[in-house]
Structure formats: structure tokens, C-alpha cells
Structure 1
Amino acid sequence: MEKFNHQSLSYKKSQLLLDQHCLNSISKQMKTPFYLYSVKALENNFNNFLNSAKENNISKPIICYALKANSNLKLLKKLKKLGCGADIVSGGELKQALKAGICPTKIVFSGVGKTRDEIRLALDCHQEGIYSFNIESIEELVTVGEIAKSLGKKARVALRLNPEVNAKTHKHISTGGLGHKFGILRQDIEKCLKRKSLFKHVKLVGLSMHIGSQLTCLKATQKALKELCETALLVNELEFLDVGGGLGVPYHPEQGVSPINEYMKRISSTIDKHYNQKRPAGAVIPATVFEPGRYIVANTGVLITEVIRTKTSGPNKFIIIDAGMNDFVRSSLYDAYHHVLPLKKNRTKNEYVNIVGPICETADSFAKNRALQRVKAQDLLCVADVGAYGYSMSSVYNMREKIKEYVLGTNGEIL
């Protein structure tokens, strides 16, 4: 079986534990497949993120958790209690954030395709509207202004810079390049700032960026942040700089640990060097907004699945499980690596297998040529680190029902 070193998962007397609670025992209460999330891991991740920002002298850090990673209501309520805000990309996510009790004045709205109804909803949900619309185009800025005027309000906005950098990540989740649909080029922001009529019914309160997800190489992040700072100097005063999210987490055993401290260190030093030391005389130091998603929830979640049967086809050994790519698509869509662990260790010799689901697609695969102990029908397996972009990207493809989500409390109770 593969080697792994995990914050929340461990073996004791051959039983797989999540936060020291036996997954085999827990699974007897549920129908597989299902998601299970750890509150303890969630709280640890949020506190680690915030403490790292403070330890690296980040000015007034504001954490707006990205709901697209995982919008489970029970997790959102826990984050709200910790003081967390929200980064949303749809009207549905706005409603979910509000349902969790997150204050509108801690919500930023990103995304290139905000509809008029979504913009109106965000402006109407609070007397002052939301904390900010992250504006992705001049055309969107015009639309937000028109709707704010019709409601007799002034919308708070941040212009999202496209810094023209290519992050070292999967091509599907890179968002800061010239050919990407996201953000506004610097030269277009410069032109926009000169058009005072655009800001009659909106208030420019910040600048933002977001260059991609699962970022572990931080060179592009630092370069993009330098561009953001230099663009910010064109504005007399801003309430905040939004540095986006996307900080990567270690899925593969060879990836080590998340570069959280290095990430915060680079953000702090870059903002200080390229903005704080050059900002207009008398201008206050802006707050720093973060939009983490994956870092907060990835390692909180496991997917528990049952072996339906095994199959040998020539040199190929298949482990067919009851979870499919409709339940968890990252392995199929991104060829992403996730630990697959038996809930109970046995003494059989490892064999190299392909772990696949029941969907009628060859892409329906969780692991290829993976070392695993010998398993049989009705054995249970755990797919680790599925808290981010697991359930939120699931579907009913092949007319399969959506699977259940459960939350493991700090005392082992199922919430």
C-alpha cells in the first residue's frame, strides 16, 4: 500500500481513523458512497491560514472563503463562527452564504458572468450591499452602475486585474493569462480610471486578482502581485487589495506540505515593497483580502466507498467501487492524485490495480496502477482529501442519485 503522512488520517490496530475516530465504525451507520468532513481539520486550517497571515505582518487580513470549493451549510456555519467571510461566484452561492449567517459586508462576488438578477440580489441583500463586486470587464462595470442607479444605491466594486501570468498548474484551472476570460488588462484599467462617468453610481474600493488554483510554485503569484501593487498606485486610496486564492495543498505523498508560510511571506514583502513604501502621502494601508478555498477544506473530507467486485483482464486487475466520476470528478477531469486507503489493513501482499467506478466512461477512474492490499467485494475504501471540489462538482450523470454528506464533530458526533 502507498505511503502517506496525513494531518487527520492514521491507522491504529489496522483500523483507519479520522481524527482518532474509527471510520469502519462510523461507516456502519451510512450507505456508501458518502462524503464525511472533519470539523477539527476545518478549524485547524482556518486558524493556520489566519495566524500565518498575522505572523507575516499582513495588514488587516480578511478571509473570504471560496464557496465554490465546498458549500456545505454546516461547514459554512462553522467558518462564520470563526469570523470568516465569503467569496462567491453565483446568486446561489450568495444565498447559501447568507443562509449560513455570513454578513453581506464580508462577501465578495467574483466571476465573469454575473447576471443582472444576481447583481440586483447582491445589492439588495443589505443596506450597503455586499463588501465588493470583483469586476471582470468594463461592460460589467457599466451594468453594475446601471442597476445601482435604478436601486438608488452606490455599489462597492474592485477591478480584477488580469496580470498576464501563467501559473504553474493544470491548464483548466489557470486564470491569470492573456488568453483567459478572467479580469481586465492593466492598460484597460488605466483607461477605465480616466472615465469618471463610469464611477458615478459605483465606488472603487479595491483591486483584485486571482491567477489560478492548486498553486504550489509561487513565482507567478509574486509577479502578479507586483502588477497589482503597481496598478494600485494609480488610485489615490483603496480600502483593500484582494490577492485571490488558489494556494495549493499536498495531494501526492511526494508533494511535502503546503507552502503557506512562504506564500504569506511573499505576499507581505511584495505589498510592502511595491505598494506600502510607494503609496500616496497620507493614504492608509489597505486591508488584504484572501479568497482561499482548497486550503481550508481539501483535507477535511474523505469519500467512503464499497468494493462492488474485482475483475482480472489479462495483465490488468480492476477494483470496481460504488463511487463514480459523477460523485467525484477530479481524478477523471484533472488526472488528479488522491490517496486510496483500505478502512481495514490486512496482511496480504500489495498488488498493482486500477480503481474504477461504475460509470460508462473509460475516464471513470480513481487511481491507475496503484499499489493496494488485496481487497474483495464489500470491503470499504477511503478516497482522501476530497473536501475541495468533490461534492460541489458532483452530478447525477447516468441518473445516479447525489450521495450524502456528513460532518464529523470534534467529539466524534455526526452533525
Structure 2
Amino acid sequence: MALLFSFFIDVFFYNTLMKNILPSPLEYKNNNLYFDGKRLDAIAAKKRTPFYLYSKKTLRHYYEHFSKAAVKNNLPSPLVCYALKANSNKDVLAQLKKMGSGADVVSVGELKKALKAGIDPQKIVFSGVAKTAEEIRFALKCGKKGIYSFNVESIEELQLINEIAKKEKRIARVAFRLNPQVSAKTHKHISTGNKTHKFGLLKADIVEALEAREFWTNTTLVGLSIHIGSQLTEMKATVKAIEEISKLALSIDVALEFLDLGGGLGIDYTAEEKSKLTSIDTYMKTVADALEKYYYSKTDHCPRVVFEPGRIIVGKMGVLVSRVVRTKVSDSNHFTIIDAGMNDLIRPALYEAYHEVLPAQASKKLIKTDIVGPICETSDCFGSKRKLPALSAGDLVVIDNAGAYGQTMASSYNEREIATEYFV
């Protein structure tokens, strides 16, 4: 009885919290799971599982909320450059382009996808520590002026960009990515803002590079950028990073066009994250207040602000839909084996990340079970000792919050096909 009560309390809070904190396309009605107002079992009736399911309505909500919050907080000419690494689906990009989004890319493959979606090259920033000569050349020759900015992460990269730009008779627009030496409270594998990480340049190295005239014959410094990590739920490290980029901007004799504050704003995967999550509105107010305190109040210059959101735009819009293959009992251990695997959603195996697993039909019969996939790895597990109805072969389950870092990190490990993506 306690398990049953707990399950329905979980369902109640799932429905209410999703509405009150971060809107989700999922909702239970009469114990049936709905996605964007349509019963999940009806959506999945003629589709091969596993598959990714996306909501255009939810995608539009988060992009519009993010961009409008920037304007509401009086940030100058804000430019949203969506981070393709989170989800590079062509229909996602087409929707974002229609709403005015730019792109943050980290490879020539992502750059080509952004361009194919019609995103203006002058709204594209190119990040990443390992840009090759081929990638730099391609980005330089996009459109009449090339891309909006190369976010430079080493002096050697700056030198290479300048050499290629000289050969191509172009002027490359560059921004230094500052490593602000802050520790973000997130998983160690997605923290990127400390000097022990491979990303960005230290302040002293940037100042030294600015004084080396040989790097600037065919490059021009147009901005500074920071990005301290992903799945950020509190803002102390963000404020400190803004303080550091502001100090650098004020110390150099360059009229910058923009300050790129990166992305990384988190979503609520767990109940704990629901309780401490920083909302989009709070995030934007925090950013605006920090910029005013550390930069705008100290200068008459007013560069625009660039953002690189990914997960906060697409994370909640998508789920991974799977069917139960069979159940298995091993002494006191109960396994629910599903047809989705870690090759479809690697976050639980890679980061020990939590994803809610929801049945298509709620039931009074509850058990504690491990939800595992078909991959020949013990880490192919989506959740241990989860409270679920007793499921049978063919029953549908949904792995929530799979819109970000699901399909983009998918693989064909064990020679499995990449799951299909569908929009409602």
C-alpha cells in the first residue's frame, strides 16, 4: 500500500511540478500518459521502438522564454546562438531559425547543419579546442563575411586562423574564450571553467597574444567569451565568471562588439534539482545585475551580449520511447528489460545521470525494479530500484528529458540502429 501511495504521489508531483517549474509535454490523465495532449500509446502504435519524440510547442516555449527574458532585463541587442551539440535535428534547427536563433557550433559538421537550416553565418560562433585548418577555412568562406566569430581557445589556434585568413585574403573575426578559473557546481565531466580543463585561455595568455602583432594581420578581435560548464543550477560561479570577463574587457584597449556568456543553464532531472533550480528569469536578472556591477557601470562602451544555450532550449521537449522486452528475476533482484539502450541515451552510463522512467499506463501493482537495456555492458541501466507498475512484454515506457544529449550522443554500439526522431 505504501508503494502504491508513493507512486501516485510521484505522479501528482510530476504533473504539478512540470507545470509550475519547467513546462513539459508529458502529463497523466486518467492514469494514461499523454504527450502534447495525445495519448502516448496512440502515438507509438505504428512506430518502431525505441524512438525519440519531440514537442515543437515545448521547443518554442523555451526559446521564446529565453530570448524574451534577455530583452526584458535590458541586455543590449542579445543574440541567442543555440548550441547544436545538445540536439542537431534538422527540424529543431529549422524551428529555431524561424524564431531568429543563431548557432554555436564545435565542428564543421555542426556548422554545415546550421547553414543547411538557413541560419545566417553572421549569427554563428565557432567554439572548440581542436579546430582544424580545413574547418577554419570552411568557416572563413561562409557567406560574404564568414562566420560571426571564432571563439579562440589557444594562441596556436589564433596563429593558424591568421595564417589561413591571410592565404584566403579574408579578415577573420575572433573572440578569446577566457578560462575564468572558477569551479561550477556540476558533474566533473561537464565542468569547463577551471585551469585544469582543456578549454579557453588564461587572462595572462590573452594579454600576451594581444601584444603579438604577427597574429593580427588578418584577424580582428570582436569579443570575449566564457563557458564554465553544463547543467548549471546555481549562479555563484556564473557571477564570478562574469566578473572575470568584465575585468579583462576593461583592461584591454579594444572596443569589443560583444561579450559571449556561454550557456549551460540546467533543467530539473531530479527532485533535488527541482528544489534548487535557477529559472530562466532569475538567470537573466543575475546576468544583467552582474554585468551592470562589474562592467557597464565602469564604462560608456556597451557591447551586445551573446548566449549559447542548449539543454535549456531542447532538454524538456524530448523523450525516449521504449517497449519492455521481458522481465527477469534473479533472487531478490527484479529487472525490467527494455529495447532502448545506452547507445540511445548514454547520459546515465556516462555521468550516472538520473532520468525519470514513466510507464504509459499507471497501475496499482507496484514493484521495485532495475530498468536495463539490451547492450552488453553492466552500465546499460536507466535506473535502479525504481518504483513502477508491474510491466509486461510490449508495454511502453518513456525516459524523460531526452531532448538534449540523446540522439546527438547516440551510437551504433553492438551494431544497433540509431533510433528515429519524430515531432508531434
1:367 to 374, 383, 387: 383
Q: What residue in structure 2 maps to residue 121 of structure 1? A: 138
Report Cα offsets for 1:191-213 as digits up to 9, x if no partner: 11222331111010000010000
1:263 to 283, 289, 300: 283
2:39 and 2:401 map into 1 onto residues whose CA distance is 17
Q: What residue in structure 2 maps to residue 357 of structure 1? A: 373
1:238 to 248, 256, 268: 256
1:275 and 1:45 map into 2 onto residues whose CA distance is 28
Following superposition of structure 1 onto structure 2, how do residues 143-182 of structure 1 map, counting pairs within 5 Å? 143-182=160-199
Whether contact under 8 Å (1:250, 1:258) holds in the other structure is no
Q: Give unmatched runs, 5+ long, in structure 2.
A: 1-6
**Could you tell me how far 1:269 is from its partner in structure 2?**
1.1
* 1:368 partner letter: S
Corresponding residue SS for 1:191: helix
TM-score (norm: length of structure 1): 0.96
2:242 and 2:74 map into 1 onto residues whose CA distance is 16
Q: What residue in structure 2 maps to residue 247 of structure 1? A: 265
**Could you tell me how far 1:258 is from its partner in structure 2?**
4.3
2:394 to 356, 361, 378: 378
1:297 to 296, 314, 331: 314
Work out whether 1:189 is the aligned partner of 2:201.
no
1:345 to 356, 362, 366: 362
Whether contact under 8 Å (2:328, 2:335) holds in the other structure is yes
1:47 and 1:193 map into 2 onto residues whose CA distance is 37
1:83 to 89, 95, 100: 100
Corresponding residue SS for 2:386: strand
**Could you tell me how far 1:36 is from its partner in structure 2?**
0.6
Q: What residue in structure 2 maps to residue 402 of structure 1? A: 418
Corresponding residue SS for 2:295: helix
Report Cα offsets for 1:97-155 as digits up to 9, x if no partner: 01101010000000000000000010111110000000000100000000100110000
1:351 and 1:185 map into 2 onto residues whose CA distance is 52
Q: What residue in structure 1 maps to residue 36 of structure 2? A: 19
Which structure has more helix as a fraction of its residues? 2
C-alpha RMSD over aligned residues: 1.0
* 1:66 partner letter: A
Q: What residue in structure 1 maps to residue 64 of structure 2? A: 47
Corresponding residue SS for 1:74: helix
Corresponding residue SS for 2:178: strand
1:268 and 1:357 map into 2 onto residues whose CA distance is 44
* 2:271 partner letter: P
Report Cα offsets for 1:31-84 as digits up to 9, x if no partner: 000001000000000011011112222121100000000000001000000000
Report Cα offsets for 1:340-378 as digits up to 9, x if no partner: 111122222x21110000101000000111111111111
Q: What residue in structure 2 maps to residue 59 of structure 1? A: 76
Corresponding residue SS for 1:305: strand
1:251 and 1:58 map into 2 onto residues whose CA distance is 29
Whether contact under 8 Å (1:212, 1:246) holds in the other structure is yes
TM-score (norm: length of structure 2): 0.94
Whether contact under 8 Å (2:346, 2:409) holds in the other structure is yes
2:284 and 2:296 map into 1 onto residues whose CA distance is 16
**Could you tell me how far 1:253 is from its partner in structure 2?**
2.6
1:277 to 294, 297, 300: 297
Whether contact under 8 Å (1:311, 1:318) holds in the other structure is yes
**Could you tell me how far 1:276 is from its partner in structure 2?**
1.1
Q: Give unmatched runs, 5+ long, in structure 1.
A: 409-415
Work out whether 1:388 is the aligned partner of 2:408.
no
2:320 and 2:278 map into 1 onto residues whose CA distance is 22
